[in-house]
Amino acid sequence: MQYKRIFSPGGSYFFTLVTENRRPLFNTPENIAALRNAFSTVHTKRPFKIDAIVILPDHLHCIWTLPDNDTDYATRWRLIKTWFTKHCDRSLLTTPPKNSRKRKQQQGVWQNRYWEHLLRNDADFEKHVDYIHYNPCKHGLVDKPGDWKYSSFHRFVKRGILTADWSCNTAFNGVGAE
């Protein structure tokens, strides 16, 4: 079976991106800052709304909503990954093990592909937002979502959408691909 991406103008999408060989590239404030700058730089030329996000040491999850009549999340991700790769600490760069990536002179910073899921309704959207905020707990990095610094959870609390004591004890089934 061949995987087919779904493109919906103005759609909201859940994404998972993973570092090459799950290296913990996002375990320093400098690399987090470089990733934020990559998002910001691409956003200025190709707008999108980040509805929710969590950045973990070796992967990230986020939800984007694209502008009306726009389906091109693929170019945005390519530009974000490229910008980060060009501006990150040079010691992070490695030669990827696969010959096809060597021929293309790609650096071994990111896994080649990413997971995407078109969010189909409000319940699907909410389930994925919860999954994003729950993810640091799932990986045993913190006991409470509020203890993880690199998460939109804090924005949701500030806006009154979630309470500061929102729990990681919720069971999540089949959300995300890591």
Give the pLDDT confidence of 35-68 residue by residue, as tens digits: 999 999 999 999 999 999 999 999 999 999 999 9
The pLDDT score that the predictor gives to residue 88 is 82
Name the percent of the chain lying above pLDDT 90. Answer: 71
CA 52-74-53 angle, 5° bins? 10
Chain segment 149-172, per-residue pLDDT in tens: 999 999 999 999 999 988 765 545
How far apart are the C-alpha atoms of 131 and 127, rounded to whole Å?
6
Answer for the pair 15, 62: CB distance below 8 angstroms, yes or no.
yes
The pLDDT score that the predictor gives to residue 100 is 47
Average pLDDT, the chain: 87
pLDDT higher than threshold 50 for residue 92: yes
Residue whose token pair is 């060009």: 86
What is the maximum alpha-carbon separation in the chain?
50
Q: Identify whether 150 is a catalytic site residue.
A: yes
The pLDDT score that the predictor gives to residue 101 is 44
Catalytic residue (choose from 73, 131, 134, 150): 150
How far apart are the C-alpha atoms of 154 and 145, rounded to whole Å?
9
Strands (DSSP E) found in the chain: 12-18, 49-55, 59-65, 115-118
What the chain holds in terms of domains, given with CATH numbers, is 12-158 (3.30.70.1290)
